[in-house]
């Protein structure tokens, strides 16, 4: 009996379900056709609005990309060729058309709700991304091609003087623009050679005096217990570095790598190694070297190298730079700067005991070179050597390629050296080579071309004997 009751109950439920299904089917049949048409139109308008919004977002991404690549192609012959330039222009126009179409589709159907709820956090992230993308890309274009010359001059002069990163300028500017920038940023040397008679070696005043200014005090006030040298921290607005003040110029010499030579097997050494081999307390890099692939062993120097009265190298690779000339000390321990190419025999006849070939000359006989713009050398890690009228030698290293120290241009070097009383001064090899060591340890912050904390092997160095 219980079994029969259960069967009847199931049959009743099935009958009810069939009736409900038939009723729904009947309602569907009786629904007015006009309602179906309206629903289809609403769905189409929803779809168009969604598509319009997507097209707007897509065009915001594409227009700056293609438009700015087209602008770059108008200013440079290397990054984008003529065919790609036309392609960029066409794609820019197409992207603008897509934007207009998207705006029309979205606005004409703006009263229709899509039914899709976009989360607030996604809207915020998307808004920040698009705003940042457009703002940054536009800012870059203004820096590259805007009315101000500042960034353009910095980029061109810095890149063109690195030798290994000239492409950074050539990507964005044609040869005519690069030439125009370089001609506007020049350094004009005095054209004089140093007159050693104007330097009176006296070693400076050490203690218990009234100093003319803070820089004179830094120079002349010796560290307690050390009458040979002192290290001064250089802290300017946009760069930092170290200056070694050497009271006895006779201790300033040229140290050379064990592998220095004129052939492919030559190799350089780190300044710490050169210092150790010569029992020196201080070392900085000195002259340039032959580096055709920017990855050489640093053993083949450019131009003349004289050490302890002997010609060490006089390579056939020419001079490192077309300015400056011989930078050295004579037997009277006075810094001598001689314009142009000087042969080894000429240097020895003139009593040169230690020298290299580089430049430009920054200060000669108390007269600074004329620096137009940034001097045409851009901002980079820098090295310089100078001598005051009292004979004190200044060895300067400026760090670069860092947030805390972007580097220095020729104006910066001249400014710093004049503050500390330089009477004769010259620029040395810079970039990755720029570094100073003290008692076997690097005390500056060198950076290579990819901003790593590294220096490199060099063929020679200015050293300070203990």
Return the HEC string of 341-366.
CCCHHHHHHCCEEEEEEECCEEEECC
pLDDT at 61: 95
Statement to judge: residues 245 and 105 lie in one domain: no
**Alpha-carbon span 260 to 275, nearest angstrom:** 15
Residue 101 lies in a domain: yes
Statement to judge: residues 159 and 129 lie in one domain: no
**Alpha-carbon span 191 to 370, nearest angstrom:** 11
pLDDT by 10s per residue, the chain, length 466 = 444 434 334 344 444 444 444 444 444 444 556 676 656 766 777 788 889 889 999 999 999 999 999 999 999 988 888 899 999 999 999 999 999 999 999 888 876 665 566 678 888 898 999 999 999 999 999 999 999 998 999 899 988 877 667 888 999 999 999 999 999 999 999 999 999 999 999 855 555 578 889 999 999 998 988 889 999 999 999 999 999 999 999 999 999 999 998 877 899 999 999 999 999 999 999 999 988 766 678 899 999 999 999 999 997 666 778 899 999 999 999 999 999 999 999 999 999 999 999 999 999 999 999 999 888 888 999 999 999 999 999 999 999 999 999 999 999 999 999 999 999 999 999 999 999 999 999 999 999 878 888 999 999 999 999 9
Statement to judge: residues 107 and 202 lie in one domain: no
**Alpha-carbon span 325 to 189, nearest angstrom:** 11
**Alpha-carbon span 220 to 204, nearest angstrom:** 6
Statement to judge: residues 304 and 252 lie in one domain: yes
Statement to judge: residues 69 and 213 lie in one domain: no
Statement to judge: residues 140 and 161 lie in one domain: no
Q: Which two tokens stand for residue 59?
A: 């065009």
Statement to judge: residues 299 and 369 lie in one domain: yes
Sheet with strand 422-427: strands edge to edge: 229-235, 240-246, 393-398, 382-388, 422-427, 361-364, 367-368
Statement to judge: residues 84 and 170 lie in one domain: no
Alpha carbon distances (Å) from 463 to 233, 385, 466: 19, 11, 10
Statement to judge: residues 118 and 169 lie in one domain: no
**Spatial CA neighbour of 112 closest among 175, 44, 66, 64:** 44
Statement to judge: residues 255 and 300 lie in one domain: yes
Statement to judge: residues 461 and 349 lie in one domain: yes
pLDDT at 36: 65
pLDDT at 121: 86
Residue 17 lies in a domain: no
Q: Provide the angle, in degrees to the nearest 10, between the axes of the packed helices 82-108 and 33-75.
A: 150
Alpha carbon distances (Å) from 375 to 154, 181, 187, 287, 369: 10, 11, 5, 20, 10
pTM of the predicted structure, to 2 decimals: 0.79
| Of 145, 173, 204, the domain-final residue | 145
162 is in which domain, residue-wise?
153-184
- Beta carbons within 10 angstroms of residue 301's beta carbon: 32
| Of 164, 184, 204, the domain-final residue | 184
Statement to judge: residues 123 and 236 lie in one domain: no
Backbone angles phi, psi at 66, to 5 degrees: -70, -40
**Alpha-carbon span 461 to 284, nearest angstrom:** 6
Long-range Cβ contacts of 214-223 (<8 Å, 24+ apart): 215/419, 215/420, 215/421, 216/421, 218/245, 218/420, 219/245, 219/388, 219/392, 219/420, 219/421, 222/247
Count of domains for the chain: 3
pLDDT at 391: 96
């Amino acid at each position: 009996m219980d079994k029969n009751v259960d069967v009847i109950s199931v049959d009743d439920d099935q009958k009810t379900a069939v009736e409900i299904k038939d009723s729904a089917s009947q309602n569907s049949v009786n629904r007015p056709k006009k309602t179906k048409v309206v629903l289809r139109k609403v769905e189409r308008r929803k779809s168009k609005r969604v598509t319009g919004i997507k097209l707007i977002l897509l065009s915001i991404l594409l227009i700056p990309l293609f438009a700015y690549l087209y602008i770059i192609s108008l200013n440079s012959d290397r990054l984008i060729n003529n065919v790609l330039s036309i392609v960029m222009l066409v794609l820019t126009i197409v992207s603008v058309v897509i934007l207009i179409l998207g705006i029309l589709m979205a606005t004409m159907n703006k009263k229709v709700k899509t039914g899709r709820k976009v989360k607030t956090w996604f809207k915020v992230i998307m808004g920040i991304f698009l705003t940042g993308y457009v703002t940054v890309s536009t800012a870059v274009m203004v820096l590259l091609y805007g009315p101000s010359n500042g960034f353009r001059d910095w980029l061109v002069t810095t890149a063109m003087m690195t030798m290994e990163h000239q492409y950074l300028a050539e990507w964005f500017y044609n040869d005519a623009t690069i030439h125009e920038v370089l001609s506007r940023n020049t350094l004009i040397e005095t054209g004089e050679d140093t007159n050693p008679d104007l330097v009176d070696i006296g070693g400076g005043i050490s203690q218990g005096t009234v100093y003319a200014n803070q820089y004179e005090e830094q120079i002349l006030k010796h560290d307690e217990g050390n009458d040979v040298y002192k290290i001064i921290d250089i802290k300017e607005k946009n760069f930092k570095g170290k200056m070694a003040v050497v009271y006895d110029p006779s201790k300033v010499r040229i140290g050379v790598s064990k592998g220095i030579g004129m052939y492919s097997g030559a190799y350089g050494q780190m300044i710490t190694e050169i210092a150790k081999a010569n029992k020196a307390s201080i070392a900085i890099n000195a002259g340039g070297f032959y580096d055709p692939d920017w990855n050489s062993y640093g053993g083949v120097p450019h131009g003349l190298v004289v050490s302890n009265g002997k010609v060490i190298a006089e390579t056939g690779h020419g001079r490192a730079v077309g300015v400056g000339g011989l930078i050295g000390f004579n037997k009277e321990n006075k810094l001598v700067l001689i314009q142009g190419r000087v042969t080894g025999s000429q240097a020895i006849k003139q009593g040169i005991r230690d020298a290299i070939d580089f430049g430009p000359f920054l200060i000669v006989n108390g007269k600074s070179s004329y620096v137009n713009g940034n001097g045409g050398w851009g901002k980079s890690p820098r090295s310089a050597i100078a001598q005051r009228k009292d004979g004190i030698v200044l060895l300067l290293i400026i760090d670069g390629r860092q947030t805390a120290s972007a580097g220095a241009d020729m104006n910066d070097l001249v400014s710093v050296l004049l503050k500390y009383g330089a009477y004769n001064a010259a620029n040395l090899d810079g970039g990755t080579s720029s570094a100073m060591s003290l008692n076997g340890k690097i005390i500056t912050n060198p950076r290579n071309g990819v901003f790593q904390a590294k220096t490199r092997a060099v063929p020679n160095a200015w050293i300070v004997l203990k």
